[in-house]
Structures are given as C-alpha cells and as structure tokens.
Amino acid sequence: MVNYRYIAIEGNIGAGKTTLANILSRELSSKLIMEEFEENSFLPKFYEDAERYAFPLEMSFLASRFNQLKKHLFEQDLFNNTIVSDYIFYKCLIFSKNNLKEDEYDLYLKLFEIINLQIPQPDLLIYLHTPLTKLKKQIQLRGRPYEQNIQDDYLLNIQEGYWDYLNKNSQQRILVIDNSSMDMLNSMEQFERVHKLLYLPFEPGITRVDLQNL
C-alpha cells in the first residue's frame, strides 16, 4: 500500500496532470477523479470574450468541482483505498484571481471560503513544474481549438498563482517534480520513479524532485 490515501496532481494548463493521474490510477487500482472541464459550455466562450464570460465560467467551475469532490471524497469504497485526482479545489482561487475583476473576485472569495471548509485536503499534492515552452507545445499538440490562442502572460500568471499557493501551504505534503523532460506516455522508467515516490514518508512541506537524479 502507498503511504497516501488521497493524492492530487496539479500544474499549469498543459502540464500533463491528467496523463499522470490516469497512469497512477491504473497502476494503483485506485479511484480516479478527473475534472469535467470539457462539459463546461462557458469555457470556449471565455477564450473568445474573457471579460464577459469570466464570472459565469468561474462560478460554474466552483459548483462542479465542489459537487464532484464532495461526492467522491466522501463515498465509501471498500475496494479502492486510494484516490487520485487531477486537480485540487484551490485551483478555483488561482484561476479566478487571474480572470475576475476585483469586485467579482471579492464576492467569489466569500463563497469559496464557505465551501472550501467542506473539502478535505490531499494527503499528498504532486505539482508538475513545467517550463513555458513545453506548456505551449503540449497545448498545441492536444489540439483544443479554444486553447490555441492562450497568451504567454496568462500561463505565467497562472504559474505564479500556483507558486504562491504552494509557498503559503507548507503544512501540506507537497512534491514538486521538474517536468521539463518528463514523458510518462513513452517512458515507463520515468513513471516508475514517480510511482516509487508514493511509498516514501514525506514530511509536511515542499519537497523538490528531479527525476533525472533519482
């Protein structure tokens, strides 16, 4: 058994969160929680007109993430003792702070703080730190039309938001993995290195890992 019952994977847009979550879930025979962003009808509209659709987009994500995590994290499953998720609830604040106007964000924050108290924190958070050049390449390769015009500044602001969160939450077990040369789909050796990390007893705080040196 791995040391952590609830493992969450995070990173910027195009970092490879879902890929790693899928592989880990299969290897661990765990329950998999995947964000249902493709079902959000506001997302393509947001990329076309961010000012108009930012608030309904963030509100809809807040509701869907809360309902999904609450359902799966509180379900009793006698056969799957481990849960792997490809996002954390706090990403709501990271994106909304970047996307919303100040008065909209203030209202959003009040709602978030009430809801967030009901969501358990992951036992281990894996953050895939990915350079901008790789993010842009992977966004292009996966070919979602509404993502193709994402600006560099937007990705850098989201990355800064994640770092701010990580540095302020040192009471959590956070594993920061350098994703510069990771290729989980084509390198079983790299995946095995990540897999083995789940059996180590990490202390609360940020632990940085370079897979090339393991």
User: Average pLDDT of 146-159?
Assistant: 93
In a domain, 66, yes or no: yes
| C-alpha to C-alpha distance for 35 and 58, rounded to whole angstroms | 14
- What pLDDT score was predicted for residue 201? 92
Instruction: Kindly report the CATH number assigned to the domain that includes residue 31.
Output: 3.40.50.300
HEC readout, 147-170: HCCCCHHHHHHHHHHHHHHHHHCC
In a domain, 172, yes or no: yes
Q: Is the distance from CB of 88 to CB of 8 less than 8 angstroms?
A: yes
The CA–CA distances, whole Å, from 192 to 8, 90, 187, 197 equal 18, 28, 9, 9
If one counts the domains in the chain, the total is 1
pLDDT level of residue 210 (50, 70, 90 thresholds): confident
Higher pLDDT, 77 or 165: 165
User: Average pLDDT of 53-62?
Assistant: 96
Please give the span between the terminal C-alpha atoms of the chain, in angstroms, as a whole number: 21
- The CB density around residue 193, as the number of other CB atoms within 10 Å, is 17
Long-range Cβ contact pairs of 117-121 (< 8 A, separation 24 or more): 118/66, 118/70, 119/66, 119/69, 119/70, 119/73, 119/89, 120/6, 120/73, 121/88, 121/172
Q: What is the pLDDT of residues 62-106, one digit of tens each?
A: 999 999 999 998 876 656 689 999 999 999 999 999 999 999 999
In a domain, 1, yes or no: no
- Mean pLDDT score of the chain: 91
pLDDT level of residue 25 (50, 70, 90 thresholds): very high
Widest pairwise Cα distance in the chain: 48
- What pLDDT score was predicted for residue 62? 96
Which residue range forms the structural domain that includes residue 185? 6-213
Q: What is the pLDDT of residues 106-145, one digit of tens each?
A: 999 999 999 999 999 999 999 999 999 999 999 998 888 8
Residue % of the chain over a pLDDT of 90? 72
In a domain, 202, yes or no: yes
pLDDT level of residue 36 (50, 70, 90 thresholds): confident
In a domain, 157, yes or no: yes
